Amino acid sequence: MTRVGRSEFRWGERTYVMGIVNVTPDSFSGDGLAGDVRAAVGQARRFVDEGADVIDLGGESTRPGAQPVDVDEERRRVLPTIERIAAAVQAPVSVDTYKAQVAREAIAAGAAMINDVWGLKKDAGIAQAAAEADVPLVLMHNQETRDYVDLLPDIVRSLSASVQQALAAGVAWENVIVDPGIGFGKTKEHNLEVMRRLGELRVLGRPILLGTSRKSTIGLVLDLPPDQRLEGTAATVAIGIANGADIVRVHDVREMALVARMADAIVRFRPGEC
């Protein structure tokens, strides 16, 4: 069990849904709200009504070719929005950042989770920020190149190193979550293989977050733009849950919450529940 704000995430009982709120002008999926706090709060409220268990708010696009955002600009984008969302919804708020300063200030503003897309490789201070606040920390696999000796063992080794680094900094074991990093430092073929073999990450002993929503791999397979990847996303979410995902990070919360419920009824079936 992991406590996220006022919520308890009981791993293995069901799949949790993380709704994506982007306050960027250049999101790959076309849903960036460009600092519109009121719109972000409205989207967060809708997501919670639709079944989101946690809201993940990001102020820097991670799409290929995106321009880096400095600390001051990221703070300006995310801090007022986190404060407003945390006051407006019961679900906890996660901050999507790899900068320790932003993470600390986001927690002070009301965030209850840190989602680091670089798995401590860009700023190791993220782990100390999570430890000091006693909040969950998502460690995602990411790398600059697409070169691997052996894909899944390489990812497991990298994530294991990130997990050990987090624990050494004082992050509680129950607060560590891992993410294989679909779309980050991987080809289409790599991404498909990771989804097929997702269960191999279980060796790490931590819950798995899967973020496939509207990703380019879906577009490459189906030859569709981001706003037409709903069905492709649904397929990856269902298969991801079947292969061991504990949290799914999505743009289309209503639809994917239903997919998760149906997948859970099959994968996590317990006699007497149906």
pLDDT tens digits, residue range 31-77? 545 568 898 999 999 999 999 999 999 999 776 666 788 999 999 99
pLDDT tens readout for residues 159-208 = 999 999 999 999 999 999 999 999 999 999 999 999 999 999 999 999 99
249: annotated active-site residue: yes
Q: What is the C-alpha separation between 109 and 85, in angstroms, rounded?
A: 10
**Residue 254's pLDDT is what?**
98
Instruction: Tell me the angle at which helices 253-267 and 230-242 cross, rounded to the nearest 10 degrees.
Output: 30
Query: Which whole-number Å values give the CA distances from 98 to 39, 89, 167, 243, 258, in the listed order?
Result: 24, 24, 17, 27, 31
29 confidence band (pLDDT: 50, 70, 90): very low
pLDDT tens readout for residues 205-260 = 999 999 999 999 999 999 999 999 999 999 999 999 999 999 999 999 999 999 99
For the chain, which residues make up each domain, given as ranges? 13-267
Q: Which of 77, 121, 214, 249 is catalytic?
A: 249
Q: What is the C-alpha separation between 248 and 206, in angstroms, rounded?
A: 15
**Residue 26's pLDDT is what?**
54
Q: Which of 99, 104, 215, 229 is catalytic?
A: 215
Assign domain 13-267 to a CATH class: alpha beta
**Residue 269's pLDDT is what?**
78
**Residue 88's pLDDT is what?**
97
196: annotated active-site residue: no
Does residue 82 contact residue 110 with C-beta atoms inside 8 Å? yes
**Residue 61's pLDDT is what?**
78
**Residue 272's pLDDT is what?**
62
